[in-house]
Amino acid sequence: MFDYLQYVRQENFPHIWCSGCGDGIVLKALIRSMDKLGLSQDETVMVSGIGCSSRTPGYVDINTLHTTHGRALAFATGVKIANPDLNVIVVTGDGDATAIGGNHFIHAARRNIDLTVLLYNNYIYGMTGGQCSPTTPRGAYASTAQHGNLEPPFNISGLAIAAGASFVARGDVYNVKKLETLIGKALQKKGFSLVEVVSPCPTAFGRRNRMARPVKMMEQLRDTVVSVEKWEKMTDEERKGKFRTGILKDIEKPEFTAEYAKLIEKMRPEE
């Protein structure tokens, strides 16, 4: 059995996440990916914003930076540019990254700076009590959408692709092995890499949307997830109510800190 203890801060357990929350599953997948790649705990920094997912750094025994709401990518940009030798992982949520932090999200992707972003998408503001987020589906119920949400949601992966990220993948906490592979690929990518992780929130989302039982939310994930390969062969009719997981974009393009290193080299006075 995999030994997680080397990577966690045992003194901070039990964690704050509710029963049935997917966040712990992402944490374990991340730890296994880090271990497989042999990432040095001393040379890895995890930066987060505010929200349930953003509490992840407290549990991981690396350099951890829990920042202000929405700003994790801004802080992470400073860490990475100041010391490009550090591996920088950003943990954020749908509200943190695409509402209050939306500007930082698109610009970090555009800049193509070498950050690995794990964005836990649970379609809701969990920590503050179930208010609707930019990814809450139209018609779904939230504590600030008690008559049903009127707004159309963001497609987070699509947003990152359009903004210029070099690696974009979507995973989910039901298909854990696949999630682990996607996180591993994102960690290895030199450039802005996003893994959007669809993760259930039975407490704040499920209870308001006829899915109070965590198992029911997991079953729903199982039944609605389609691999990108299969997705390509499906008709629009078959795609209805489903979403695809896998690698959605993987290209090579100039990475910011590498370009900056070249600039410094060019500016160096002749010996």
The site for another protein (CB under 8 A) is made up of 9, 12, 41-43, 45, 47, 57-58, 61-68, 70-71, 73-83, 85-86, 103-104, 106-107, 260, 263-264, 267, 269
d(CA 206, CA 217): 7
User: How many Cβ atoms are within 10 Å of 223's Cβ, its own excluded?
Assistant: 11
d(CA 159, CA 162): 5
Which is nearer to another protein, 67 or 157 (by Cβ)? 67
Q: How far is the CB of 263 from another protein (least distance, A)?
A: 5
Which is nearer to another protein, 114 or 180 (by Cβ)? 114
- What values do phi and psi take at 46, rounded to 5? -110, 125
Q: How far is the CB of 11 from another protein (least distance, A)?
A: 8
Which is nearer to another protein, 150 or 267 (by Cβ)? 267
Q: How far is the CB of 133 from another protein (least distance, A)?
A: 20
Which is nearer to another protein, 233 or 266 (by Cβ)? 266
Instruction: At 251, list the tokens.
Output: 């290209």
Which is nearer to another protein, 90 or 225 (by Cβ)? 90
d(CA 35, CA 39): 6
Which is nearer to another protein, 68 or 227 (by Cβ)? 68
Which is nearer to another protein, 104 or 208 (by Cβ)? 104
Q: How far is the CB of 83 from another protein (least distance, A)?
A: 4
Q: Which among 43, 202, 31, 42 is positioned nearest to 118, based on CA atoms? A: 31
Q: How far is the CB of 75 from another protein (least distance, A)?
A: 4
Q: How far is the CB of 66 from another protein (least distance, A)?
A: 4
Q: How far is the CB of 193 from another protein (least distance, A)?
A: 18
- What values do phi and psi take at 34, rounded to 5? -60, -40
